[in-house]
Structure 1
Amino acid sequence: MIVQGGELKASRGEPARPNFQHKPPINNAIDRLRSSNRDLVRASMFRDTNNLGRWYSPPDRSARGRVRLWPRTPTPPGDNLVEEAAAIEAETAAEWPRALPDPAALDPAARAALAAAVDQLRGRGEEFADRVLALVRRRVPGHAALGSEDIRSCARRFLDVVLAELAVPRAPGAALRETLADFAGERVARGIPAEVLALAYRWGSRAMLALMDEAGAAAGLPPVLLLAAHDSTWEFTHEAAGIFARVQREQALERVRFDAERRAAFAAGVLGGTLPAEHIGHDARLFGLAPQARHVALAARTTSEAETESLRLAVAGALRLPADRLLLARVGAVLGFIAPRAPDAVTGHLVAAGPALPLDRLGTGFGEAVLALETARRFAMTGLVRLSSLGPRPLVLADPLTAGGLAARHLAALDGPGRSSEEIERTTRFHLECDQDVREVARRLAVHPNTVRYRVGRFQELTDLDLRRTEDLVTAWWLLNRRRA
């Protein structure tokens, strides 16, 4: 079996049929020949495919069900068909896809035929819409939910755009791409997948090309122009599928962004205390939260999107939750989380946890978490912190006016130049942190215990604060830690 220019399809009891890729007129002619119950042995490509039936001979009984196709016939039956076959073969020798010719290169007869074909196609718009509707109903189950007039209207709109391009003539361009993008946006929003749209577009293209073949034959359209229109149309079906997929992907991303914005707005309203209780009760269930269940507000600070994502994953991992189920939002400069419970630990980040409270009171808990966070930051702490575990440290941030007055009164002598003042201040702060254990302070600072005693004594002389008195001890601790923060 020899087949040139196409693939051969056959089965038991079914005559063989050659399938020429990108040559629908030839395929249609072969189908017409087969329907006349004739056996095709040789066929050559030439302009008038309606006369393809003249190119046949009795079947070879020794090769039942086989078809032998040749790009040219060595023994033509006469007339000028050899010249026609050679001409069309020369015209179709170029690589696919064939480009539509330059309008300026068309002779007057070709331009007139093109205009006549376009006019005829415009006049058959309703027929085209009916054909597309029938094909879609039969071949595209995914369009079952669409109304008939909806499908017909889209078919007419696409035909108008394609005819505007063909009248020039030029390959489908920006106008068709824009129409396809708008069409895909509307269809995808209605739940029709991109692959269903691509299938419907291919069937619509097939109906349009069949109608174009009929109009082209009636108007005497040059075959090379018709074949180029076929090529550009089928080539564009691949681009159309890409447009449909892109629009579907963009809408999916938009839904994700919209959902993320809704989740962030809810979290910000709850943590910031700006969302009314009735709204919290209604919206909480949308995000998988029980309104009356106790939740924990978490607070943290990040300086980049990458750090925010790293923190989100760390908190979700500590809570053993999917990261996309964790509600978070920025409230001012602080990143807040709504968690079902406080994590046991968060490695590599500073996170503050508030008390467990119902959602409508979680704003109060978030305020405590923010205070704990800011305090822990001043003390260069890391990991998970709670306000209750910070002791009097939050007082360091309180009452700046009073603190400023006390610092001017007691610590002014330590503000002079020189390394000794810094060493005295640092040693005294360690002395208070270590519960005035001289040996522990000496070990941490790698100095002799007597050095510690000397520096602490010198601090008391310079500041006029006696660390044996409770009031002076509290004042010294407050001022030193505030300066450190």
Structure 2
Amino acid sequence: MREDSDTTREREIAARISSLIAGADVELDSVASRLTDLYRQRIPVYDSVAREEVQRNTRAVLDIVVWRVQSDSPSVDESDVTDLVRRWADQTIPLELVAHSIQLGARELFKIIRHNAAEQNLSTAAVDDMQDMMWEWATSYSAAVNTVMQERAVTGAIRRSDLIRQLVESSYVPSSLAGDAQEHGIDLSHPYRVACVVWNDTSKASDARALLRMRCSDGLLEVVDAVIDGRLIALLPVVPERLESDIAIGVGDARQASDARSSYEQAQRALTLATMFGRTGVVDLAALGPLPLLAFADDVAEQIASVHLDPLLVRGATGREILDTVATYLDNDRRVDDTAAALFVHRNTVRNRVARFGDLTGLDIDSTADLVLAWWLLTRDRAQRAALENPVL
């Protein structure tokens, strides 16, 4: 019974609104025209759409309201405006402006209703009821706009992700590349640097994304990014110096978008090595010094490590202590005092362990060739241990 009573009351209010705007076609044309002028004056994007198209769409919103109050079912139905909103989106009018347009349209329409209600000496309660219904419609239709916005956002994100994947894998269709790139604001003639970040939905990862978007746009071109297979992959129009980040951001060299794969492969290697060695901020292969050398020849490296490091590793904690001391010694450019301070041991302890390292490994770190090999093996060993302790997604 309560539902029937509410429905009856809705119909009564709608019928009253319908009677007050009966024959208001000329006025609605005027309202649509005024709103169109208002939009084009205050919202620059409307200048890119033909005036008559904006006015036609604005009038369509008003017609929907009129049709609803004159129907047998005045209850709100968001689907009334969904198709119209999608058409506005296809015209590249920002949908948040559409929601604003609907609210302004409802306000202007209610001015007509209130004026006619005053002429008919309707009660304040009746006017309030009509106003509540008008705002209920406006709010619901704005919600329909938000629904379409979410649809578009999801669809756009999927299409953007697909395009970036195709670019970094060189799997795009050449004939459709120009159109796809234009849709997502990618200039095929501009060189981009590909950035790669481990994505784990943490605040640090989000901050890194915001940093890239804010600092790596050039005013005309925006950063285009997507999360793909646990990595944030971004096309950067520019990379300014001194970008500070709490996590590692691997970056490749500048290539046109159609050749993004090369830059992406460099960014991946830089990210892997930077993460492995605890580097943070924006890093490319050149900034990592000799560390990229560690990414090559794994089979050979295992064989060399077995020859030189196994004699220490079989000694357990004592052997590991010698390895860590020599690694720290090399980190400190072979300065005994600095190494002793870093390890909280006596200088003679450092000297003795360095000597034992030479005896057991056969590597004389006073020899340039042996020094390079020792650094390479110890740095590689350190990275492997870090990876086991802190696996990277």
Q: 1:267 maps to which residue?
A: 164
User: Which residue does 1:451 correspond to in 2?
Assistant: 349
CA distance in 1, matches of 2:333, 2:128: 88
Alignment match, 2:200: 303
Aligned residue pairs: how many?
343
Which structure 2 segments of 5+ residues have no match? 36-53, 89-97, 384-393
Residue 205 of structure 1, CA deviation: 7.2
Paired residues for 1:404-419 under 5 Å: 404-416=302-314, 419=317
Matches within 5 A, 1:370-449: 370-416=268-314, 419-449=317-347
The alpha-carbon distance between structure 1 residues 250 and 324, as it changes in their structure 2 partners (threshold 3 A), is: farther
Distance 1:294 1:188, change over 3 A: closer
Query: Whole-Å Cα distance in 2 between the matches of residues 323 and 304 of structure 1?
Result: 29
State the partner residue of 2:40. Answer: none
Q: Cα distance, 1:311 vs. partner? A: 0.7
| Greater C-alpha radius of gyration | 1
Question: 2:361 is matched with which residue?
Answer: 463
CA contact (8 A) 1:132 1:203 kept: no
Alignment of 1:176-187 (within 5 A): 176-177=75-76, 179=77, 181-187=78-84
1:148 and 1:318 map into 2 onto residues whose CA distance is 42
- The residue matched to 1:295 in structure 2 has which SS? strand
Shift of 1:424: 0.7
Which amino acid counterpart does residue 103 of structure 2 have in structure 1? E
The TM-score normalised by the length of structure 2 is 0.68
Match in the other structure for 2:72 = 161
The structural deviation recorded for 1:279 is: 4.1
TM-score relative to the length of structure 1? 0.57
Secondary structure of 1:336's aligned partner: strand
Q: What percentage of residue pairs aligned between the two structures are identical?
A: 24
Q: CA deviation at 1:101?
A: 8.5
Q: Are the equivalent residues in 1 in contact too, given 2:217–2:238 (CA < 8 A)?
A: no
1:361: how far off? 1.6
- CA root-mean-square deviation: 4.5
Shift of 1:232: 4.5
Q: Does 1:137 align with 2:29?
A: yes
| Counterpart in the other structure of 1:166 | none
Structure 1, unaligned stretches of length 5 or more? 1-99, 105-110, 163-171, 214-222
User: Displacement of 1:254 after TM fit?
Assistant: 4.6
Q: Deviations over 1:158-186 (max 9, x none)?
A: 43334xxxxxxxxx6xxx12x2x112323
The amino acid across from 1:484 in the alignment is: R
Contact 1:352 1:369 in 2 (8 A): yes
The letter for the 1-side match of 2:205 is: T
Q: Which has the higher contact order (CA 8 A, sep 6+)?
A: 2
What is residue 476 of structure 1 aligned with on the other side?
374
- Report SS of the residue matched to 2:23: helix
295-304 or 152-161, larger mean C-alpha shift? 152-161
* Superposed counterparts of 1:13-412, under 5 Å: 131=23, 133=25, 136-137=28-29, 139-141=31-33, 144-145=55-56, 155=66, 158-162=69-73, 176-177=75-76, 179=77, 181-191=78-88, 193-199=101-107, 202=110, 232-252=129-149, 254-256=151-153, 258-319=155-216, 321=218, 325-349=222-246, 350-412=248-310
Q: Contact 1:414/1:425 (CA < 8 Å) preserved in 2?
A: yes
Structure (1 or 2) with the greater helix fraction: 2
Deviation at residue 296 of structure 1 after TM alignment: 1.6
* In structure 2, C-alpha distance between the alignment counterparts of 1:302 and 1:248, rounded to whole Å: 31
Secondary structure of 1:161's counterpart equals coil
How far did residue 444 of structure 1 move?
Answer: 3.9
Q: CA deviation at 1:135?
A: 5.0
CA distance in 2, matches of 1:382, 1:434: 20
Which amino acid in 2 is paired with 1:361? D
Structure 2 counterpart of 1:136, which letter?
L
Given that 2:252 and 2:284 are in contact with CA atoms closer than 8 Å, whether structure 1 keeps it comes out as yes
Q: How far apart, CA to CA, are the structure 2 residues paired with 1:443 and 1:149?
A: 78
